[in-house]
Amino acid sequence: MSLAKQIEADYIAAYKAKDQVKLGVLRHLKTAAKNLQVELLRELTDEDVFGVIMKQAKQRQDSIEQFNSANRPDLAAIESAELEVLKTYLPQPLSDEELSALVDKTIAETGAADMKDMGKVMNPIMADYKGRVDGKKLSALVREKLS
């Protein structure tokens, strides 16, 4: 089943179950996907839908950080609940140990020696593990290992 069809089925299930949080998140997700479909003038692939989900998750994460810094835990809790719904559609992120081993392996393969070679290490990892690796975390780890 395609990701778009899975989201549609989950939307209907959430509607029937009267799960307002999940229903709201999936409604926004469907709207964002439809807007992208209109923009691209073609049917969306799973990769396109996955990109929409990642964008929505990133927006929620940013909102959580802003609400926490503004001392609004009530709004941060709402965003956290919405983020948890979105995470069910995202692949499992790499653990710190897996990421560290992957960075070591990529450094060895590319022969990266200093900070000038940071792109040589980051680009293949970000391309191969899109959605499973946090760019900020990867950047910090690569900087640490190359310095």
pLDDT in tens, 50-77: 999 999 999 999 999 999 999 999 999 9
Give yes or no for a contact between 66 and 104, defined as CB atoms under 8 angstroms apart. no
Nearest to 141 by CA among 92, 107, 110: 107
Q: How many CB atoms lie within 10 A of CB 34?
A: 13
**Element housing 81 (H / E):** helix 73-87
Q: What is the pLDDT of residue 22?
A: 97
For the ranges 26-35, 74-83, 93-102, which has the lowest average pLDDT? Answer: 93-102
Residues of CATH 1.10.10.410 domain(s) within the chain?
A: 96-146
- pLDDT value at 114 more than 90: no
Assigned CATH for 3-87: 1.10.1510.10
Average pLDDT over residues 5-22: 97
CA distance 145 to 114: 9
Average pLDDT over residues 25-50: 95
DSSP 120-134: HHHHHHHHHTTTTS-
- pLDDT value at 45 more than 90: yes
Whether domain 96-146 has CATH 1.10.10.410: the reply is: yes
- pLDDT value at 35 more than 90: yes
Q: What percent of the chain has pLDDT over 90?
A: 81
Residues of CATH 1.10.1510.10 domain(s) within the chain?
A: 3-87
- pLDDT value at 9 more than 90: yes
Q: What is the pLDDT of residue 125?
A: 93
Give yes or no for a contact between 64 and 83, defined as CB atoms under 8 angstroms apart. yes
Average pLDDT in the chain: 94
Q: How many CB atoms lie within 10 A of CB 26?
A: 23
